[in-house]
Amino acid sequence: MNNKFLIVDFDSTFVQVETLDELAAIALAEHPESERVIEKIRTITAQGMDGKISLAESLDERLKLLSANKKHIEQLVISLADKVSPSFKRNGVFLEQFADSIYIVSSGFKEYILPIVSKFGIKEDHVFANTFTYDEAGNINGLDASNPLCQDQGKVRVVNSLNLEGSVWAVGDGITDYEIRAAGAADIFYAFTENVERTSVTAKADVVIKNFDEFLYMHDFPRAISYPRNRIKILLLENLHPNGIKMLEHEGYTVETLKGSLSEDELCAKIKDVTILGIRSKTTVTKKVLDAAERLISIGCFCIGTNQVDLDYATQKGVCVFNAPFSNTRSVVEMVIGEIIMLMRKVVSKNAQLHQGKWDKSADNCFELRGKKLGIVGYGNIGSQLSVLAEAMGMQVYYYDVMEKLQLGNARKCDTMDELLSSVDIVTLHVDGRKSNAKIIGEHEFKMMKDNVIFINLSRGHVVDIDAMVKVLDSGKILGAAVDVFPVEPKNNQEEFVSALRGYDNVILSPHIGGSTEEAQLNIGEFVARRLTSYVNGGDSTQSVNLPNIQLPELRKAHRLIHLHRNVPGVLAQINQMLASHQANILGQYLKTNEQVGYVISDIDVEYDKDLINQLKKIDGTIKSRVLY
Ligand code: NAI
């Protein structure tokens, strides 16, 4: 900051709020017409900020309405401490280090500004603001009228009086901050929009900055984060859950949302400078799309499946793909339990009869589920969760899985599917969609099941031989069935559902909604948003479907070098050689590879030769390399 001076505004810049509005809310909390008066104060504040009334007028009118005293100021200081703008707060080290070059110039009041900024190392004689006057009882009754800051062009006069020799840069959100530059007292005016964006001000600014990180990044000053979040562009398609969107916006990223999906060409045109893409199942991310994406580092599939993304090519391009593998697990499980009860009590067929006027009050073939044997095929996320709930309801759980799985509660493992099928009263399928699972339930398997079995499939349509199922339904062997997934499903709500399973009174058919609940949508939105932010902000690839999964510790007082490369011999050795030759002290290093790529994370001491970053990018086989702090 040699010969450079920073003039920083306070209200809505250093802190997130307009302080007199805040003071009014405190002072008028008990006032019978507080809302009306506070609203009036806000209107006057806005008029002043937009330059519609003079500053002196705006201050004077607001003070009259305030009815505040010294106690209220103490409360205001406590409340403001939590309202320092996030980008100033996280860059406290910069403020402290360059305090000699930083001035706070505000039309607010020194009584509450000084206690806030002094915590960041700003000196008292670098704080210029108004001061209140009080009556004997300590009530604010006006302001020191001799202070230039209560007059028009006051900030200009104060900055001029400082006689700063060098470049003067003014940072603020209001018209009075622009005036410093307009009068020639500052060389550059940065309109600060982290808290409010006034078009009347940004239109006149030399530079518009979303936050203080952006300012520090532009000048390559020491800063808390390597890359301003607002420069990270996120494109979210297909009407994602608002909570997920909010989480990403809260991180400070620049988020664009679209309701529908985009065609390949539309996406190619839009994705050029996108860092993160969020989609559901209707957007296809092809090789062409990935080639058009020059800055893409991650794709969030806000759903379960990832078939819509060319995963192989995404890996080659170093794009980390996430999904939400178990955010709707509970929804599926609850539906299975509900359907078992409906079928065991024949509610489904009795409902159909009653709608036709047939009263059939009988207990024949109606059962409780307590004590019944539930057979779960596929003991993964859904199967094992179902196991827990079913046991809690008194069922005896049997399961069969092709993999060795942790046996939960009292669940019994079966060595073969036949063993399971012949032992249980209810069969429910929860296998994954791998090709080899096609028709794993066919004629033979239905034959193995007990008479009066209940059969449920909420996994994948192709795992059941539908012709064989129709035969056993016709034979009366099955007491009831529930099917949510089909070998061929309509592409949209307008297309007719065609299936040989239609027309059976004892079969519940549902349109692939096992996981479709509001809760699941919210869980998916939040889960994927969290994975994306952990990866982008910290390099944590846990639960990525295509990159090696590395769970990383939080980054503290270190720089994190992230290096993704083709899995060829010798890259780690080259990275470490490079680290040594640039005097980098390694605090932690993490490495994982899969068949295609290697992922190396090196946490190093903040002092090192910064040329290292460029050199790492040049290592043969490098796909992506970035530095985080
Ligand atoms: P998961 O991958 O956690 O579990 C699948 C389990 O099945 C694994 O333990 C695997 O080893 C086992 N398995 C695979 N083939 C098998 C076979 N032939 N015999 C025995 N075990 C086998 O999957 P998750 O999350 O539990 O989902 C299960 C199924 O539910 C998936 O097919 C998924 O697509 C489907 N699903 C359906 C929804 C709906 O709306 N109806 C919603 C969510 C998931």
How confident is the model over 567-613, as pLDDT tens digits?
999 999 999 999 999 999 999 999 999 999 999 999 999 989 989 99
pLDDT in tens, 382-413: 999 999 999 999 999 999 999 999 999 999 99
Instruction: Report the chain's terminal Cα–Cα distance, integer Å.
Output: 21
Closest CA to 370 of 348, 399, 337, 400: 337
Whole-prediction pTM: 0.81
Strand pairing report for 320-322 and 373-377:
unpaired
pLDDT(46) > 90: no
Is residue 238 part of the annotated active site? The answer reads no
pLDDT at position 54 is: 83
Predicted confidence (pLDDT) at residue 52 exceeds the cutoff of 90: no
Pocket test for ligand 1, best of 382, 408, 420, 464 (most atoms within 8 A of CB): 382
Average pLDDT of the residues in 256-277: 97
Q: For 460-470, what is the mean pLDDT?
A: 97
| Percent of the chain residues past pLDDT 90, beyond the cut | 92
**Residue 432 Cβ < 6 Å to ligand 1:** yes
- What pLDDT was estimated at residue 64? 87
List CB contacts of 117: < 8 A, sequence separation 6 or more: 10, 14, 104, 127
pLDDT tens for 297-333 read 999 999 988 999 999 999 999 999 999 999 999 999 9
pLDDT over threshold 90, residue 500: yes
Query: Confidence band (pLDDT; 50, 70, 90) for 159?
Result: very high
Residue with tokens 């899985």: 401
Measured CA distances, 236 to 299, 444, 542 (Å): 10, 47, 21
- Segment 213-219 shows an average pLDDT of 96
Quickly count: other Cβ atoms within 10 Å of residue 403's Cβ.
7
Question: Can you give the pLDDT at residue 266?
Answer: 97
Task: Give the angle subtended at the CA of 361 by the CAs of 359 and 363, to the nearest 5°.
Answer: 150
Could you tell me which residues come within 8 angstroms of residue 492 by beta carbon, excluding any fewer than 6 positions away?
Answer: none
Report the range of poorest mean pLDDT among 61-70, 163-172, 392-401: 61-70
Give me the mean pLDDT over the 155-159 stretch: 97
What spacing in Å lies between the alpha carbon of 540 and ligand 1's midpoint? 26
589-602 tens-digit pLDDT: 999 999 999 999 99
Q: Is 383 in the pocket of ligand 1 (CB under 6 A)?
A: yes
* Among 327, 420, 431, 486, residue to substitute to test ligand 1 (most atoms within 8 Å of Cβ): 431
pLDDT of residue 491: 86
Task: Tell whether the model's pLDDT for residue 492 goes beyond 90.
Answer: no
**Residue-level pLDDT at 186:** 98
| H or E stretch covering 494 | none
The rounded distance, in Å, linking the Cα atoms of 484 and 244 is: 27
Closest CA to 530 of 298, 328, 312: 298
Kindly write down the DSSP assignment for every residue of 79-144, as one continuous string: HHHTTB-HHHHHTHHHHHHTGGGEEEEEEEEHHHHHHHHGGGT--GGGEEEE-EEE-TTSBEEEE-
Q: What is the pLDDT of residues 96-128, one digit of tens each?
A: 999 999 999 999 999 999 999 999 999 999 999
Span from the CA of 109 to the centroid of ligand 1 (angstroms): 63
Looking at every residue in the chain, the average pLDDT score rounds to: 95
Helix (H, G, I), strand (E, B) or coil at 622: strand
In the chain, the domains with their CATH numbers are 4-218 (3.40.50.1000), 227-327+517-547 (3.40.50.720), 329-515 (3.40.50.720), 552-628 (3.30.70.260)
Confidence band for 51, pLDDT divided at 50, 70 and 90: confident
Residue 174 CA to residue 319 CA, distance in Å, equals: 41
Positive or negative, the CA dihedral 393, 395, 396, 400 is negative
pLDDT over 80 at 1, yes or no: no
Calpha distance 105→580 (Å, rounded):
46
Ligand 1 contacts CB of residue 514 (under 6 A):
yes
Specify whether the CB–CB gap between 624 and 345 falls below 8 A.
no
The predicted structure's pLDDT at residue 60: 82
| Ligand 1 center from residue 382 Cα (angstroms) | 7
Atom of ligand 1 nearest to the CA of 516: 40
Supply the DSSP string of 153-199, one letter for each residue. Answer: THHHHHHHHT---SEEEEEESSHHHHHHHHTTS-SEEEEE-SS---H
Is the Cβ atom of 130 under 6 angstroms away from ligand 1?
Answer: no
Query: Of 223, 229, 241, 460, which residue is the catalytic one?
Result: 460
Is the minimum distance from the CB of 381 to ligand 1 under 6 angstroms?
A: yes
Q: Is the pLDDT of residue 435 over 80?
A: yes
What is the average per-residue pLDDT within 494-516?
96
Picking from 512, 518, 519, 509, the residue whose alpha carbon sits closest to that of residue 339 is: 509
Q: How confident is the model at residue 57, as a pLDDT?
A: 83
Q: Is 335 in the pocket of ligand 1 (CB under 6 A)?
A: no
Active site residue 512: yes
Q: Compute the average pLDDT of residues 221-231.
A: 93
Closest residue by Cα to atom 31, ligand 1, is 432
pLDDT tens digits along 612-624: 999 999 999 999 9
Question: CA 550, CA 362: separation in Å to the nearest integer?
Answer: 59
Half-sphere exposure of 327 (CA within 13 A, CB side): 27
Phi, psi of 171 (to 5 degrees): -120, 125
